[in-house]
Structure 1
Amino acid sequence: MINLFDKLDQAARDFRLAQLIAQLKLPTVVIHDDGFLPRKVQSPLQYYCPRSDEGQPLYFDQIPVPRFWRIVGSSRGAQIYDLNHKRADVVFTKNDNTRQVKQVRWLNESGQLQWVDEYDRFGHLFAKTSWADNRAWLKQFFDEQGQVVIESHLDNGSLFLNTRQERRHFKSLPDFVSSYLQKSGLNLDRIFYNTLSTSFLTTLKLPKSGHDTLFWHEPVQNKLPGNLDYIYQNETRTRHVIVQDYRVWQNRQKLFKTNQHVATDYLGIVYPHPRGNSLRPAILILTNSDQIMQLENLVKILPQFEFHIAAITEMSDRLMGMQKYENVYLYPVVKMDTARNLMRKCDIYLDINQGDEILDAVRAAFENNMLILGFNETMHEPRLIADENRYAAAEFDKMAIKIVQAVSQTDEMQRLIDTQRQQAGDEPVARFQAGIEALIND
């Protein structure tokens, strides 16, 4: 039995972490390996292109460039210049100021994307994607000697595999992945997957004797996606559909169909919660810009609350000017240890900055059981913010009233935290464990 994910995005990481918390250790396979998979996560790339696990992520000023070219970087990314001519954009793994290289996107003389070099967590160049006319058309994966082992033709979906043991053409990525899985030695009797794209299509290529489960975490509007309808209308390996979005289950449950082939149910996710809420009048905002909606109005209307505002960059004069208020504390170029301490000492998080989210702030606030409130215009992680804690920007006064009520009434804060966790699909460990074991034993 395995987990099969298209990529290790937040939803896949959450599902795998929930299993680990519930002491359910299932092998995990990720189809699209970005070079930064955890050590115990497997992929077709690792199987066909094994590499040493020595080294560290490439720091941005270590990118190989011709002599006299220069690399200019900030916390958000970097650029490579030949005099004043930009030759490449550098994408970092995270926006946390570590400046570790994930991609180098090289440009041609006209400034159009020509190819993308991809580096792994050990600083190795492991893949290259070629572009033409603003389209990616070929992706090549290298072994440790720099030889091309896998060629993915992105224009028609076919792949070529070239190893010492095997030279083969595959018509599609699901064909390639199903072949790999059957050679991998993994137990394929039950597969847990969470997308209706490559993972699902791969299960259709495997022997039909398996009993698979789709863990559906995405929004649903007025009708089910086509591939989900296909599962309900045909007898496939997929025998269970588990809805993981609480709001979808509450509002769209009638769209999901249970029949003789497929059973449908709801099961959320286990989130880690290292601490509870202590009702302290301390508010945290993490930001990458000085565009913080209604900040001054909130500071004025809540003088009894401390506002702790942190950024991983220098702060503008506009934001530094907020120091004139005695209840405002600023942390420019914040260090990770300081950011973690702020997460521990504050009990309210405001998702009201208009720039990019930094340091997975909303997720960290949720795990620390901080009460999260946000404006409709600024929310970065709506799924983690309870419906009643979302406001129009003009309703900052109502937001302030909610904050005061929560901190002054233990029962009200407990209700708000419980609601926040419920609507995010937060599941008790025992219930999650029982739900997964029921699927394993079915």
Structure 2
Amino acid sequence: MLNLFDTYSRESQDLLHSLKEAGYEHPTVVLEPNGFLPDGVESPFIYFLGQPKVEKRGRFFNEVRVPDFWEITGDNTMAQVNYYGQVKAKIYYYAPSYKRIVERVEWIDNKGQIVLIERYDQYGRHIATTTCDTDGKQLVTTYFEEGLERLTENHQTGDLILTLKKQPIRIFKNRLDFYVFYLEYRRFNLDRVIYNTLATSFSVSLQLGSKGILGQDILVWQERLYDSIPGNMQLILNSQPVRTKKILIPQTDTYHRALLLTPKEQHSLFGPLGYIYEFTEKEDIRKDAFVLTNSDQIESLSYIVEQAPNVTFRVAALTEMSPILLGMVRYPNVVLYQNISQKRIEELLRVSSIYLDINHYGEVQGIVRKAFEHKQVILGFAHTVHDKRYIAKEHIFEQGQEVALVNRINEIYKSVDRYKGAVALQIEQSSAIEMNEFRTRFQEGLGDGNV
């Protein structure tokens, strides 16, 4: 059995975590060229670059090699290379960005156009270089093992060239052929491939079938369904025999939607699943509300603070705060945290009972998911919430409904039972299930009743 993911997305990580918690320890492959995958997860692009025997410390932003007298400056978001006031390169970090570990460096010309992209991995190795044309379009990417060319991908023609020690050069006409070669080269057990998109990993499943490699694959569908079944899913439903024999759907409402959109004779191809989350239990319920932001644009914060004087609002930022936010100290029930540390963020997640997802612009460090796992009740406005998967529908308010949001805060704090009921709403929406139930559902998807 093998997990095959296009990318190491949040959805892929949730599925992998649930499988491992349920006792499934089979290998996992991520098709994207990702140099920051955890132990036990491989990328075909990175596998052929060898396995370093050094510490996984990455390359700190000021360790990027630059010519003499060029300057590197950076903050918790990104960095850049300058020479006499002119930007020569932009340095992008791998998440979490506060660690300032380099994922890629984009070198630019005097016109500000990208001409070269260097990529790094979790060992700090320079693993790949991409050349670009005068319009910034990617031409060729070369992957290195200790400075030696191992793999070259031509983005214009799509072909790849693999050069291994003491082996003949191998040429692949596209990524799909390269992926199938890699799976066979690694001698993975391909009797069951578990994949979670109808994109590249689905194409790999079809390619394995076309080569006569038998198997019973499973699609774990982690997206929403709208007015119709996607075309590639219809191919699975209507074009048997194919390798894919089952479609498991973690989200309960999406599973029921799939049954509504398909005839009864196809319902047996679908199955419910769910997720196993790592919840942190609250030791006590405190009248504390937490906000983590990168801007001073926090929807209706002053009104909420004024209307809930018995609640302490803890507002934190990774950087220094603007005068607007600093002005909130005029309220006795507001505590501000400038340049907050990761240790203090973890502390606030433990002690606060409500998380207000009301800051505009981007989400900070996946804080909504962290608040969810810490069993904070998450409240927000429809135009400010960052991740609806972890927020109960009843806790998302339209713009201008500040009164309703404050009323909900006060209601939650009336009793421990009200708080627990509010947490239960968002857990139910997330399709969280216990380990034994997950294992039972997955075994049924495999067609194996032995749990």
Shorter chain as denominator, the TM-score bin is over 0.9
**Cα deviation, residue 43, structure 1:** 2.4
Q: What are the ranges of 5 or more consecutive residues in structure 2 without an aligned counterpart?
A: none
CA distance in 2, matches of 1:281, 1:107: 50
Does structure 2 conserve the Cα–Cα contact (< 8 Å) formed by 1:256 and 1:264? no
1:114 paired residue number: 115
> Which one is further off, 250-259 or 5-14?
250-259
Does structure 1 conserve the Cα–Cα contact (< 8 Å) formed by 2:271 and 2:441? no
Q: For residues 175-194 of structure 1, what are the structure 2 equivalents within 5 Å?
A: 175-194=177-196
- Which residue type is aligned with residue 25 of structure 1? E
**Cα deviation, residue 61, structure 1:** 0.8
Task: List per-residue Cα deviations over 1:201-256 (Å, max 9, x = no partner).
Answer: 01111134100000011122212222112111212100001112333234454224
**Cα deviation, residue 416, structure 1:** 2.0
Name the SS for the 1:285 alignment partner.
Answer: strand
CA distance in 2, matches of 1:6, 1:71: 34
1:233 paired residue number: 238
Q: What are the ranges of 5 or more consecutive residues in structure 1 without an aligned counterpart?
A: none
Task: List per-residue Cα deviations over 1:99-146 (Å, max 9, x = no partner).
Answer: 1111111112211111211110010000122222232232221112x1
1:215 paired residue number: 220
Using structure 2 for the length normalisation, give the TM-score: 0.94
Q: Which runs of 4+ in 1 moved over 6 A?
A: none
Does structure 2 conserve the Cα–Cα contact (< 8 Å) formed by 1:157 and 1:171? yes
Classify 1:156/1:382 alpha carbon distance in 2 versus 1 (closer, same or farther; 3 Å).
Answer: farther
1:337 paired residue number: 343
2:70 paired residue number: 69
CA distance in 2, matches of 1:261, 1:401: 43
CA distance in 2, matches of 1:140, 1:412: 57
- Which residue type is aligned with residue 142 of structure 1? F
Q: Does 2:367 correspond to 1:361?
A: yes
CA distance in 2, matches of 1:232, 1:100: 44
Does structure 2 conserve the Cα–Cα contact (< 8 Å) formed by 1:232 and 1:257? no
Q: Does 2:28 correspond to 1:28?
A: yes
Classify 1:245/1:239 alpha carbon distance in 2 versus 1 (closer, same or farther; 3 Å).
Answer: same
Task: List per-residue Cα deviations over 1:367-404 (Å, max 9, x = no partner).
Answer: 01110111111111111111111112310110111111
Does structure 2 conserve the Cα–Cα contact (< 8 Å) formed by 1:282 and 1:308? yes
1:54 paired residue number: 54
**Cα deviation, residue 284, structure 1:** 0.4
Q: Does 2:22 correspond to 1:17?
A: no
Name which of 165, 173, 176 aligns with 2:175.
Answer: 173
Name which of 261, 278, 286 aligns with 1:272.
Answer: 278
2:136 paired residue number: 134
> Which one is further off, 268-277 or 189-198?
268-277
- Which residue type is aligned with residue 329 of structure 1? V
2:2 paired residue number: 2
- Which residue type is aligned with residue 432 of structure 1? F
- Which residue type is aligned with residue 363 of structure 1? R
Name the SS for the 2:291 alignment partner.
Answer: strand
Does structure 2 conserve the Cα–Cα contact (< 8 Å) formed by 1:286 and 1:310? yes
CA distance in 2, matches of 1:167, 1:388: 59
CA distance in 2, matches of 1:23, 1:364: 24
Classify 1:219/1:261 alpha carbon distance in 2 versus 1 (closer, same or farther; 3 Å).
Answer: closer
Does structure 2 conserve the Cα–Cα contact (< 8 Å) formed by 1:258 and 1:264? no
> Which one is further off, 146-155 or 104-113?
146-155
**Cα deviation, residue 154, structure 1:** 2.3
CA distance in 1, matches of 2:352, 2:65: 43
- Which residue type is aligned with residue 175 of structure 1? D
Name which of 200, 206, 210 aligns with 2:202.
Answer: 200
1:395 paired residue number: 401
CA distance in 2, matches of 1:372, 1:261: 35
Does structure 1 conserve the Cα–Cα contact (< 8 Å) formed by 2:60 and 2:102? yes
Does structure 2 conserve the Cα–Cα contact (< 8 Å) formed by 1:232 and 1:259? no
Q: Does 2:435 correspond to 1:429?
A: yes
CA distance in 2, matches of 1:336, 1:23: 31
Classify 1:198/1:22 alpha carbon distance in 2 versus 1 (closer, same or farther; 3 Å).
Answer: same
**Cα deviation, residue 51, structure 1:** 3.1
Classify 1:208/1:261 alpha carbon distance in 2 versus 1 (closer, same or farther; 3 Å).
Answer: farther
**Cα deviation, residue 359, structure 1:** 2.2
1:346 paired residue number: 352
Classify 1:239/1:208 alpha carbon distance in 2 versus 1 (closer, same or farther; 3 Å).
Answer: farther
CA distance in 2, matches of 1:386, 1:129: 43
Name the SS for the 1:372 alignment partner.
Answer: strand
Classify 1:197/1:234 alpha carbon distance in 2 versus 1 (closer, same or farther; 3 Å).
Answer: same
- Which residue type is aligned with residue 35 of structure 2? G
Using structure 1 for the length normalisation, give the TM-score: 0.95
Name the SS for the 2:26 alignment partner.
Answer: coil
Q: For residues 285-434 of structure 1, what are the structure 2 equivalents within 5 Å?
A: 285-434=291-440
Name the SS for the 2:349 alignment partner.
Answer: helix
Classify 1:259/1:42 alpha carbon distance in 2 versus 1 (closer, same or farther; 3 Å).
Answer: farther
Classify 1:241/1:252 alpha carbon distance in 2 versus 1 (closer, same or farther; 3 Å).
Answer: closer
Name the SS for the 2:50 alignment partner.
Answer: coil
> Which one is further off, 286-295 or 131-140?
131-140
Classify 1:115/1:14 alpha carbon distance in 2 versus 1 (closer, same or farther; 3 Å).
Answer: same
Name the SS for the 2:389 alignment partner.
Answer: helix
1:90 paired residue number: 91
Task: List per-residue Cα deviations over 1:339-375 (Å, max 9, x = no partner).
Answer: 1000000010011111321121101000011101111
Name the SS for the 1:405 alignment partner.
Answer: helix
Classify 1:256/1:143 alpha carbon distance in 2 versus 1 (closer, same or farther; 3 Å).
Answer: farther
CA distance in 1, matches of 2:302, 2:353: 20
- Which residue type is aligned with residue 220 of structure 1? L
- Which residue type is aligned with residue 395 of structure 1? Q
2:42 paired residue number: 42
CA distance in 1, matches of 2:44, 2:121: 15
CA distance in 1, matches of 2:161, 2:173: 9
